[in-house]
Each structure stands twice: as C-alpha cells, then as structure tokens.
Structure 1
Amino acid sequence: MSRRSTLVGVMALSAGLALAGCSSDGEPELKVNGAFMPQPVGDDMAAGFLTVHNSGGTADKLTSVTSDLSDDITIHESKDQRMQEVKTFDVPADGELNLERGGNHIMFMKLKQKPKQGEKVTLELRFEKSGAIKVELPVKEPTYSPKKH
C-alpha cells in the first residue's frame, strides 16, 4: 500500500509542477492590429492609431514610439476633450490598449516628409517588458475612421 501512496504522491507533485509552468503569470504576449495614419492635413504633424492586444497573463507598458518620419514622437491621452502627453500607456494582462480617434493616440511632430494616402509609415513601439515591435501604418484618407466591431 505504501508503494501506491508514493506513486499517487509523485503523480500529484508532477501535476502541480506542470500547472505551475502554465500559470497565467507568464510573459506578456503582444500583437498589434488595426493600425493606420490619416493623411496629414497640415505639413508638420500627424497622428497614429492602433490596438495592442495582450493575450499573456502579465501586463506591460508602451513606453515610447520611434519612426524615420519624425524625431519628435509622443504618446497622448485625451481626457475631458483635452489632449496631454503621457510617459506610458498600460497594456493590461489579457486585455488591450486602444489608440483611436478621439482618444489616446500617437503624435508625430515636425514631420520630415508628409506621408500620402496609399503609403505606409514604419514605426517601432517600445514596451517595458516585451521590447520593441515594428508596425506599419497604412496612410488612409484624412477623414478615415474604422468601423467598430
């Protein structure tokens, strides 16, 4: 009987270790979609929009954005119909960060060139835990606004 108890104990311990390896406290798993930039109306600034999905069990933070289009790129939140620069955006575990018209967004200032509809702007999103992700923003017409699902 003690041999059977030992076997049951070893199996229970193995199952517990396997479950610990699959815990929801894993690394963030980020994917970006819905990215776009409306064609700028003026010559010196533009905005970028996208959604960052995190299917991992750990939250992350968007800390900065870089692109060849501008050396002055910031992230902004919109509160009470006012726009203000922020240092980071949270990307919740098993959640998403939405950068969308009328809300939080990426601002490109002092553009080196004015992107035109049909072109793509490459940028790099930098995250606190996940490192960098390259993203292409298709340039859409100035009034473009994607439909919500």
Structure 2
Amino acid sequence: MRRLALAAAATTGALALTGCSGDGSGSGDGKAGLSVSSAYMPQPVSADMAAGFLTITNKGAAKDALTSVTSDVAGRITMHDTVGGAMQEVTSFAVPAHGQLVFKSGGNHLMFEKLRRKPQQGQTITLKLKFAKSGPLTVEMPVKSATYNPSTGH
C-alpha cells in the first residue's frame, strides 16, 4: 500500500512539473510569458478596412516577436508602426522580456484588410496571434464605438 502511495505521489509530482515547464508562462525560466489585454476594434467606418489595438505583456525572461495575426473576419491583417506621424507596414514586432508591446491609436496598430463582413459595435471578433518562439495566442477582441477612447472607456 505504501509503494502505491509513493508511486502516486511521484506521478503527481512529475505531472505538475511537466505542466509548469511546457507552458511558457514562467518568469524565471528563460521563456516568454505572454498575455494579451486591452484588445478592441473601433467599429469600422468603411466596409473593407478596420483597425485593431491591444497590449501584449511579456512577464518572461526571454524576448519574443509577434510575427503575424489572422482572423476569419479579414482576408489579411497587417501590422503597422507609426514613426514621426508616418505609418509603415512591418513584418514583426519585438515583445521585450519583462515588457510590453502596445498597439494604440496614433501608434502601432493592426489593419484588418479585405473585410469579409463589417464588424458591428457589441460584437466580438477572434484573432490568432503568432510569435517567433512562443505558441499562438487566441484573443477575443470586442468591437467598440467608432469614437471609443480607452482612457475614458467611452
């Protein structure tokens, strides 16, 4: 009986360690620990294009890079940065260790091109974020009013 109890305890411990080491969320294990917050899309004013904003937080000790974004709502999603008031498309964005990648109005942003349907305020769209090192993240992005301001919540 005692051997059975020891074997069960060893198996439980091994499973717990396996679960911790493979999820990439540890902060001291040399891996990125990515999460997403503050995601939203202002209701598009045109029928074929929209913008999207979010924050990717990396609590891990390793940097990563956002390499692509997909969604069934758009034929293509491009990533843009804004430098000196000029917008330019980029193929990836760095996500620093112990830092954030912020997409906001007037700065870095996502462009949803070739919309398959025009998202309406109150709906939610699903995105898949792909990274250079970490596994993909699925994000639910609410559609807000066209004039939504995240600092006021309106």
Q: TM-score range by the shorter chain?
A: 0.7 to 0.9
Q: What residue is the counterpart of 1:51 in the other structure?
A: 55
Q: CA deviation at 1:131?
A: 1.9
Identity %: 54
Say whether residues 1:104 and 2:112 are aligned partners.
no
Superposed CA RMSD: 1.5
Question: In structure 2, what residue type is equivalent to 1:76?
Answer: H
For structure 1, which runs of at least 5 residues remain unmatched after alignment?
A: 1-21
Question: Size of the alignment, in residue pairs?
Answer: 127
Q: Give the ranges of 4+ consecutive aligned residues of structure 1 lying more than 4 Å apart after TM superposition.
A: none
What is the Cα deviation at residue 26 of structure 1?
Answer: 1.4
Whether the aligned pair in 1 keeps the contact of 2:27 and 2:60 (CA below 8 Å) is no
Deviation, 1:82, is 1.1
| Alpha carbons of structure 1 residues 77 and 111: separation in structure 2 relative to 1, 3 Å | same
**Is 2:120 the partner of 1:116?**
yes
Q: Whose Rg is larger?
A: 1
Between 82-91 and 139-148, report the one with greater CA deviation: 139-148
Q: Secondary structure at the match of 2:61?
A: coil
TM-score of the superposed pair, with normalisation by structure 1:
0.82
Residue in 1 that maps onto 2:71 = 67
Q: What SS does structure 2 have at the residue aligned with 1:106?
A: strand
Cα distance in 2 between the residues matched to 1:56 and 1:36: 24
Match of 1:26 in 2: 30
Deviation at 1:130, TM superposition (A): 0.7
Match of 1:83 in 2: 87
Q: Tell me how far apart the structure 2 counterparts of residues 112 and 124 of structure 1 sit (CA, whole Å).
A: 16
> Which one of the candidate residues 73, 95, 98 is aligned to 1:94?
98
1:35 corresponds, among 24, 33, 39, to 39
